[in-house]
């Protein structure tokens, strides 16, 4: 039998567009990343938005629907993976990011992908540059986990969306935040946090860092309904068994790691 290949290739990730990109052995998987850091380091796909690590992206993208010639706001675009996927599908994408480093990565990734995206460096709740009823879809992949006051952001999203248009968001599932993974995967995860804890969790992963605020499902639902949204989908998808995301942990064998919610703006 021939020995396994030892050649290396550049990880095809918008999160690795710095001067020293990560290297991945052919046929292997990248170094593990903190699950809360998703989508930092997520591998770009041709035209599918990745709402979480190792999910059935083709099935979940049905929640987005057709986007050609629609104005789509990517709220907290990170390194640009979702924004690029949407632009490849013909959307007119507006991407907002509060981190200058991640925004620079997203701009570089969009240039490499040869897609046109309108980028803005801004707090996620500061959408004054958009007029009311100007956006056909708002997408946010894990970014709202970095926001403590969800209501402030959601009210701005309601203002810029056209009536009956959707806000589609994904977040780290609050169940996963209650558990701690066994480093050697020899024992089941242990319970380390109560369901009612509001303490933020700081993370550092792959040269990036951030803070995760864990929002309960009831808090998300209440925040959306108070802002005059109608929630029409709540999903707790199970990761694919053959997934190879660097954000994958053994916690996904016990609890959902990603929460997906879609809500539509009600008319005034």
CA dist 75 and 157 (Å) reads 9
Question: Are 11 and 21 contacting, i.e. CB atoms less than 8 angstroms apart?
Answer: yes
How do residues 133-168 score in pLDDT, each as one tens digit? Answer: 999 999 999 999 999 999 999 999 999 999 999 999
Helix (H), strand (E), coil (C) string for 71-113: EEEEECCCCCHHHHHHHHCCCEEEEEECCHHHHHHHHHHHHHH
Q: Are 228 and 215 in contact (CB under 8 A)?
A: no
Cα(122)–Cα(166) distance, integer angstroms: 21
Cα separation of 209 and 36, whole Å?
10
What is the percent of the chain where pLDDT is above 90? 55
**Domain limits of the chain?**
30-265
30-265: CATH topology is Rossmann fold (3.40.50)
pLDDT of 225-266, one tens digit each? 999 999 999 999 999 888 777 777 777 788 888 999 999 999
pLDDT, averaged across the chain:
83
pLDDT level of residue 21 (50, 70, 90 thresholds)? very low
Q: What is the distance between the alpha carbons of residues 96 and 74, in angstroms, rounded to a whole number?
A: 6
Is a pLDDT exceeding 90 seen at residue 210? no
| Separation CA 115–CA 123 (nearest Å) | 24
The average pLDDT across 52-80 equals 94
Extract the tokens encoding 38: 């998703």
CA–CA separation, 49 and 52 (whole Å): 9
CA 167 – CA 154 distance, rounded (Å): 9
Looking at per-residue pLDDT, the higher value among 40 and 122 belongs to 122
């Amino acid at each position: 039998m021939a020995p396994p290949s030892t050649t290396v290739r550049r990880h095809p990730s918008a999160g690795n567009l710095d001067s020293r990109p990560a290297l991945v052995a052919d046929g292997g998987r990248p170094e593990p990343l903190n699950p809360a850091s998703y989508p930092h380091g997520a591998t770009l796909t041709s035209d599918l938005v990745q709402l979480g690590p190792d999910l059935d992206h083709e099935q979940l993208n049905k929640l987005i629907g057709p986007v050609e010639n629609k104005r789509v706001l990517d709220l907290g675009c990170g390194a640009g993976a979702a924004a690029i996927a949407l632009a490849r599908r013909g959307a007119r994408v507006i991407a907002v990011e509060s981190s200058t480093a991640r925004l620079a990565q997203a701009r570089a990734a969009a240039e490499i992908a040869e897609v046109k995206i309108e980028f803005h460096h801004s707090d996620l709740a500061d959408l004054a540059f958009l007029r009311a009823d100007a956006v056909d879809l708002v997408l946010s992949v894990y970014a709202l986990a970095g926001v403590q006051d969800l209501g402030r952001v959601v009210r701005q999203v309601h203002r810029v969306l056209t009536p009956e248009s959707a806000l589609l968001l994904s977040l780290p599932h609050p169940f996963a935040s209650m558990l701690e993974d066994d480093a050697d995967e020899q024992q089941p995860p242990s319970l380390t946090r109560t369901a009612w804890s509001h303490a933020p969790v700081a993370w550092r992963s792959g040269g990036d860092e951030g803070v995760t605020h864990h929002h309960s499902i009831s808090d998300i639902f209440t925040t959306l309904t108070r802002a005059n949204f109608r929630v029409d989908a709540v999903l707790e998808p199970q990761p694919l068994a053959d997934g190879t995301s660097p954000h994958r942990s053994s916690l996904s064998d016990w609890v959902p790691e990603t929460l997906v919610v879609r809500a539509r703006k009600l008319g005034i």
